[in-house]
A and B are shown apart, each in its own frame.
Chain A
Amino acid sequence: KAGVTQTPRYLIKTRGQQVTLSCSPISGHRSVSWYQQTPGQGLQFLFEYFSETQRNKGNFPGRFSGRQFSNSRSEMNVSTLELGDSALYLCASSEPSSYNEQFFGPGTRLTVL
């Protein structure tokens, strides 16, 4: 099976712009979660999508949003970028019946200038 893929791998934006990141889960996995990793805050949960519905949401401002498509691919969007949004964004896929499996993609490294 192919692993979790994320595009793009690297991204440079300026303050005030918006950005969309994409995640394709492992085939057969219907749950996709997003995490933000920064040196200061570590790894923090953003949100989880299952069957096109947001099931869980972390403590992030409304500028962070996401969606999931019928093929389980997910996108996250960050609007009005701030310098502090510079981070590695990771997505993980799992099948809720097998919560012992949570596999991550390679991440998208976002730099906001």
Chain B
Amino acid sequence: AQKITQTQPGMFVQEKEAVTLDCTYDTSDPSYGLFWYKQPSSGEMIFLIYQGSYDQQNATEGRYSLNFQKARKSANLVISASQLGDSAMYFCAMREAGKLIFGQGTELSVKP
């Protein structure tokens, strides 16, 4: 069974608008961590944001925020004020037993 599910293979957003990338996860461990990474065409995985399972507040990092709904087991990434440079693959990942388990990714395209 998929542990990390990203249901949007591709998404388009207009420049300067906000976009939400979906991520649901499955774990029975009460302690876990959730990550979002950006992967441009160059291949490098760029860390965006982290949410711990015990964190009371949603994580925010600049234009990135994580909408963490623990009961629903969802950890959606919200990018505000999209920029052309945001066009890339985005991966949601969960840390479990010392390793990261990744979703299949969402390809985001920002239109001018």
Interface size on B, residues (CB 8 A): 23
A-side binding surface: helix, strand, loop or mixed?
A: strand
Q: Would you list which residues of chain A between 22 and 76 have a CB under 8 Å from chain B?
A: 33, 35, 42-43, 45, 48, 55-56, 58
In contact, A102 and B44 (Cβ under 8 angstroms): no
A100 within 8 A of B: yes
The tally of CB-CB contacts under 8 A between chains A and B is 52
In contact, A99 and B33 (Cβ under 8 angstroms): yes
B101 within 8 A of A: yes
Residue of A nearest to B52 (CB): A100
Q: How far is the CA of A102 from the CA of B98 in the complex (A)?
A: 11
Residue numbers of A with Cβ under 8 A of B are: 33, 35, 42-43, 45, 48, 55-56, 58, 88, 90, 92, 99-107, 109
Residue numbers of B with Cβ under 8 A of A are: 33, 35, 37, 42-47, 50, 52, 91, 93, 95, 97-105
